[in-house]
Amino acid sequence: MSHGHRPSSPPPEPSVKLHEGWHCSHLYYEFDRATLATMGPEDIKSGCDEVVSVLAPDGVEAPARLQTSIVGGHKADFGLMLMDDDPLKIDAVHQRLMASDLGPALQTGYSFVSVTEVSEYVPSVEQYTRRLIDDGETEDSPTFTAKVKAYENREPMMRKQRLTPDLPPWPATCFYPMNKKRRVGENWFTLPFDERNRMMAEHAQSGMAFAGKVSQLITVGVGLDDWEWGVTLWAANPAFLKDIVYRMRFDEASARYAEFGPFLVSYVSTAAEMLEHCRIGV
């Protein structure tokens, strides 16, 4: 009988799919007008038809989530937000666009690759219960029982909305990447968890003031892209994008520890509406 090391557990099966949640890509494009000027109307028409087909959210080859938007400003003409458990299904959308008849007139711009997750700062039911007790609630009080029960009912939906989210039907959207600082004296990653959790709870409280006006999704680019997190906001009115970002800039987690990349604001549309807006094939 062997008395060597205990056999290790078998290695995980190789897979491009996550253990939970989805891959997410934000992709931005602009049209090369000089190239469009050299293309015949038939090629442009067939290219537009291909783009509409590729960007159909309910298409046979579409990823689980696909959203097209018209970008304001000069950073891009249009943007895509794509989500699926298979990252190659997401990339296939980009490859089909570039291989279309309109592909020669498409220039790639900014992109951000990330994944969904449930943040470590979202409390479990047990952690929420302890937080209530720490805040002075007594376990035998009716309000304590009601709050715990309400959180138990919300928690599964909160997890789902973070891992496999439904996109809100709101017209204005904004994306930006961000990091947490790692400077001497301002290193987020050397702070105790309780301190980070306190600041993130304050940050979340500021966001809750915009319930019914703004929806937010945080995706993680750590190890996948140049920035650590990507923030996607959807708003019932573009003014709310300004208001929530301004409000949350005063929170300590943001004011002291956050660094931000480019902001790309856009307006949700169909592919056909985007092409018409950009005067392609018109």
Name the amino acid, one letter, at 222. V
Clarify whether 151 is annotated catalytic.
Answer: no
- Quote the tokens at residue 211: 């319930």
Specify the DSSP element, H or E, that contains 69.
Answer: strand 65-71
- How would you class 173 by CB atoms within 10 Å of its CB: exposed for 0-12, middle for 13-18, buried for 19 or more? buried
Q: How many CA atoms lie within 13 A of 19 on its CB side?
A: 4
Longest Cα separation, the chain = 80
Specify the DSSP element, H or E, that contains 179.
Answer: strand 172-180
Of residues 86, 72, 98, the one with CA closest to residue 25: 86
Q: How many CA atoms lie within 13 A of 41 on its CB side?
A: 1
- From the candidates 28, 29, 151, 176, which is the catalytic residue? 176
Q: Which residues are catalytic?
A: 176
